[in-house]
Amino acid sequence: MKKVLPILLSGSLLTAALQSNGQAKVSQDSLMRYYTQLAKGSDADKALLVNKLYALTKSKKESDWLTASGFFYQLKQVNVSDSIRQAAEKKFPAGITVRDKQVQPIYDENDPVKKEALYKAWMKKFPQGKLDNDVIVYDYVRNSVGTAYAQADNLPKALEYANSIESPFWKGQGWVGTAERIIKKGHTAEAKVLLKKAIDDAWEFRTTRKNEMGAQFAAIGYAGYLSTYAQLLYNDKEYDSALVYLKRAEEAETPVRPQVNEMFAKVLLAKGEYKEVFKRMTEIAAQGKLNDNNKELLTTAYAKVRGDNNLQGYIDSLKSGLDKKMQEEFAKQIITEPAPGFTLKDVDGNTVSLADYKGKTIVLDFWATWCGPCKASFPAMKKAMDKYKNDPNVKFLFVHTWEKEADATANAKKYVTGNNFPFEVLMDLKDPATGVNKVVDSYKVKGIPTKFVIDGRGNIRFRFTGFSGGDDAAVAEVSAMITLANQQ
């Protein structure tokens, strides 16, 4: 007798598909949603999930084993997850787990000829489409081989692999990655072709193909591609053509990214349109996003438009309203959540606890040595620290997390000392039992750099992810959060 089995879970009803031979045939997507809900549920839900996951390891299908491993990872039972993958390697010696493990030597090899040979041998052993339909796994490897050829200045091979990518949503990324590398080797004409293809591809995913799988990812680089293409046109003194693409980049995003405004200014400066350059660079300065490169553009335009020697006074006047603007913006984002306590070792082996700074306002900065935006924000964070160096009630702590090297502590210390950053660096290393970085996990961080401002009562008042660019803007952001946290 056929019947429908309703499953009540956390107040929501998940209805199983029709049964056959007494066994429910739930669709894979529904099953994944069911497991996900269990993983987010009560202790009883999680216990039920664990039983179901162990049952999957009795399956004859490797995909079930990988599902079990993935959900144990979500449950923060990383060692169990790793053990299941290791067992899967033995049970399925020609399967997905082994395939994905054996791809690593290809990535590790730098010589393009050797890399290609490893790739071809791997492809012969694990033909595309035999184990699954995960084409992107193969595209990543092809891109790695092409990148090696690009860096070795083998243009034909670099282009061959750039054009071999099959995943529709990743073609643009592959083309641009190769273009950026061959530009450094002087192959501007070929790079233009790849960039133009990437621009057209991203535009389609923004418009006529926006409902396809991965469309949002494929379209996200559109403005950046336009800006890079405009840079090449600028280098070739094709100024009017460069402006056409920059206007498209300007229309693509709100707010306009500083790089686009800077590129606009460079082109307009070459055309002698000093007033427009002055206007654009003034906007960047007012946002606190001047840097050593774009300040030169403002300097040139200022001399032509104003003709006096008070550039720094002018910049300071533009920044005068930045702190107030940031306070108004962050006042809308203030929260009150208990800050999870922690005790960690610093890079010198000293024990440091959050409780040591009770009563102080804490700026907690999660970072890693492999994180580019984290390191890009450090000069600004140093300036922010300098601003509060005489305030005993404000403390900055830099928590290194999500390490990827065995000697993470030594590398973190080497990086901050080598760059003269006066930071107190704490090490949030993986827990040996679970494989989890406990502190970053307790703060529910999804990406780095992420900063938290904790008030004197131990409450999180702000969380801020990313780096907006521009030291003055970043200092103003941190300053606004500290000021508002102290007012509450």
Is 16's pLDDT higher than 90?
A: no
Phi, psi of 77 (to 5 degrees): -100, 70
- Is residue 330 included in any domain, yes or no? no
Average pLDDT over residues 166-187: 96
Instruction: Give tens-digit pLDDT for 416-431.
Output: 999 999 999 999 999 8
- Is residue 371 included in any domain, yes or no? yes
pLDDT value for 488: 64
Rounded distance, CA 247 to CA 264, Å? 9
Verify that 384 and 314 share a domain, yes or no: no
Structure tokens of 224? 């950046």
> Residue 351 is part of a domain; what is its CATH number?
3.40.30.10
Rounded distance, CA 398 to CA 412, Å? 10
Instruction: Give tens-digit pLDDT for 401-417.
Output: 999 888 999 999 999 99
Strand partners, 218: none
| Contact in structure between 246 and 260 (CB atoms under 8 Å) | yes
Which has more pLDDT, 293 or 405?
405
Verify that 154 and 262 share a domain, yes or no: yes
Is 346's pLDDT higher than 60?
A: yes
Classify 390 in phi/psi space as left (phi over 0), alpha (psi -120 to 50) or beta: alpha
Confidence of residue 298 (pLDDT cuts 50, 70, 90): very high
Verify that 313 and 342 share a domain, yes or no: no
> Residue 206 is part of a domain; what is its CATH number?
1.25.40.10
Is 396's pLDDT higher than 60?
A: yes
Verify that 140 and 20 share a domain, yes or no: no
Instruction: Give tens-digit pLDDT for 303-319.
Output: 999 988 899 899 888 87
Instruction: Give tens-digit pLDDT for 370-386.
Output: 999 999 999 999 999 99
| Contact in structure between 169 and 217 (CB atoms under 8 Å) | yes
| Contact in structure between 477 and 468 (CB atoms under 8 Å) | yes
Average pLDDT over residues 240-269: 91
Verify that 221 and 171 share a domain, yes or no: yes
Confidence of residue 22 (pLDDT cuts 50, 70, 90): very low
AA identity, residue 39: A
Confidence of residue 433 (pLDDT cuts 50, 70, 90): confident
Rounded distance, CA 381 to CA 485, Å? 18
Q: Domain range spanning residue 79?
A: 6-99
- Is residue 328 included in any domain, yes or no? no
Verify that 299 and 402 share a domain, yes or no: no
- Is residue 329 included in any domain, yes or no? no
- pTM across the whole model: 0.77
pLDDT value for 143: 96
Verify that 85 and 30 share a domain, yes or no: yes
Classify 69 in phi/psi space as left (phi over 0), alpha (psi -120 to 50) or beta: alpha
Is 130's pLDDT higher than 70?
A: yes
AA identity, residue 352: V
Give 359's Cβ-side CA count (13 Å radius).
4
- Is residue 121 included in any domain, yes or no? no
Verify that 251 and 290 share a domain, yes or no: yes
pLDDT value for 132: 83
Q: In the chain, what percentage of residues exceed pLDDT 70?
A: 94
Per the structure, the count of domains in the chain is 3
pLDDT value for 5: 31
Verify that 263 and 305 share a domain, yes or no: yes
Verify that 255 and 395 share a domain, yes or no: no
